[in-house]
Amino acid sequence: MPDKIPDGLSVAAATKTIDNSDALVSKDNLKIGELKSGARIGASSQRRKLQLKRYRKDFQAVDIRGTIEERPEAVGYWIEQKSIE
């Protein structure tokens, strides 16, 4: 849900969500502070991308979409593309 609700719209109901905590899936099980300079981190929300840049300006926040099951496949694709470049 966007941070700001556009004029003319309202939230009529909000359903209970599953666990809303964040997770970092990284190669070699690195923690966020251990990632290399210029690390690419996938995030779907603009707010999360801004938080990553505030945490470390060298991070490259890239758009990632899909279900929780589909996202690791996208990361594998990035790694594959990076090795081709």
What are the boundaries of each domain within the chain? 27-84
Residue with tokens 């990284």: 26
Please report the pLDDT score of residue 9 as a whole number: 84
As a whole number, mean pLDDT of residues 51-74 equals 84
Among the residue ranges 17-21, 44-48, 71-75, the one predicted with the least confidence is 17-21
The pLDDT mean for the chain works out to: 78
d(CA 62, CA 66): 13
0.85 exceeded by the pTM? no
Q: Which residues contact 1 (CB under 8 A, 6 or more apart)?
A: 11
Q: Per DSSP, which regions of 6-77 are E strands?
A: 40-43, 60-63
Q: What percent of the chain is modeled with pLDDT above 70?
A: 75
d(CA 44, CA 25): 14
